DNA sequence: CACCATATGTCATTAACCGGCATATGGCGG
DNA sequence: CCGCCATATGCCGGTTAATGACATATGGTG
């Protein structure tokens, strides 16, 4: 199945694109900022994920400009990508709520 | 690295153990219930994850009883397991909040 | 008597992430 | 002037977790 639950790096990548289009390297820095330095996207993960998300239609190339004779490809969320991120965010938020609830409601004072 | 972010099946498994000890099969049913039928833990995932979590010290064997000449091993969260689940829940909740915030704050009305 | 729920387990495959390497430019410090 | 770092994109081998299928065993139900 391809609808295996999204992992943190992918989720953060999409989140980094949620407010405005960004190019690969900028995404990596943004992800690091969002996660307070916790998650540093490796280039292998980054460009691999971009490739995958393009094929899944969750992101698309926003623009390609040449800066200092270097290509800079900018990506943006597609409509389905926006929806997918919203769904995924709600899904994990619900799981987090349930986990927190059970931790509080259960045999909390045991250990 | 072993501190790769927890995936959904693992997270749900720990959540299923958060309120009270359960044995493997009961965990699988509980996970399905928690996720509203969305996630059905395969036995490969289930027992593989239990093995891994035992080694990581996040869960431990609570009791081993023989019911109908069949072994029933019950697992429970350890103190570190409880902490890890709480940390992970807070972490993904924060990511979900940020994703939702950006989706709302960004170029929302574009597409 | 066959099938299903209960219950635990193994194993090959797949997919995502990791870590390292490669390549290229422009700026800054030694 | 030369090396290192930030910027920027990309490939590839290896690890790990989840998947799907198979195996085994019992008790209850149609």
**What DSSP letter does each residue of B39-97 carry, written as one string?**
----HHHHHHHHHHHHHTTSEEEEEEEEETTEEEEEEEE-HHHHHHHHHHHHHHHHHHH
Answer whether any strand D atom is within 7 A of the Cβ of B43.
Answer: yes
Backbone angles phi and psi of B51, in degrees to 5: -55, -50
CB B78 within 8 A of CB A99: no
How far is the C-alpha of A52 from the C-alpha of A25, rounded, in Å?
Answer: 17
Q: How many CB pairs under 8 A join A and B?
A: 105
Task: Kindly report the CATH number that applies to the domain delimited by A8-105.
Answer: 1.10.10.10
The total of other beta-carbon atoms located within 10 Å of residue A86's CB is 16
Residue B110 has pLDDT above 60, yes or no: no
Class of domain B8-101: mainly alpha
Q: What is the pLDDT of residues B2-54, one digit of tens each?
A: 578 899 999 999 999 999 999 999 999 999 999 999 999 999 999 999 999 99
Residue B109 has pLDDT above 70, yes or no: no
pLDDT beneath 50, residues of chain A: 1, 111
Which residues in chain B (64-93) have CB-CB distances under 8 A to chain A? 78-79, 82, 85-86, 88-93
Q: Which protein residue's Cα is closest to nucleotide C24 at C1'?
A: A70
How far is the C-alpha of B107 from the C-alpha of A104, rounded, in Å?
Answer: 38
The dihedral through the CA atoms of B51, B46, A92, A54 has a sign that is: positive
Answer whether any strand D atom is within 7 A of the Cβ of A73.
Answer: yes
How far is the C-alpha of B92 from the C-alpha of B72, rounded, in Å?
Answer: 33
pLDDT band (50, 70, 90) for residue B108: low
* pLDDT for residue A1: 47
Question: Chain A residue with minimal CA distance to B14?
Answer: A99
Answer whether any strand D atom is within 7 A of the Cβ of B53.
Answer: no
* pLDDT for residue B67: 75
Residue ranges per domain, chain B? 8-101
Return the structure tokens found at A38.
């916790």
Query: To 10 degrees, the CA torsion angle through B52, B38, A2, B5?
Result: -40
Extended beta strands in A1-111, E state: 22-23, 59-67, 70-77
Q: What is the pLDDT of residues B66-81, one digit of tens each?
A: 877 778 899 999 999 9
* CA-based nearest residue to A9, from A22, A24, A28, A25: A28
| Strand D footprint nucleotides (protein C-beta < 7 Å) | 7-13, 16-23, 25-27
How far is the C-alpha of B110 from the C-alpha of B21, rounded, in Å?
Answer: 49
* d(CA B79, C1' C20) / Å: 37
The shortest CB-CB distance from A5 to any of B8, B88, B91 is to B8
């Amino acid at each position: 199945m391809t609808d295996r639950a999204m992992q943190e790096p992918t989720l953060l990548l999409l989140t980094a694109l949620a407010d405005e289009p960004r190019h690969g390297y900028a995404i990596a820095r943004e992800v690091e900022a969002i996660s307070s330095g916790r998650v540093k996207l490796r280039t292998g993960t980054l460009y691999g994920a971009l490739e995958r998300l393009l094929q899944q239609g969750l992101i698309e190339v926003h623009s390609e400009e040449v800066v200092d004779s270097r290509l800079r490809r900018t990506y943006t969320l597609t409509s389905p990508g926006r929806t997918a991120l919203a769904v995924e965010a709600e899904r994990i938020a619900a799981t987090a709520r349930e986990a927190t609830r059970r931790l509080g409601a259960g045999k909390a004072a045991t250990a």
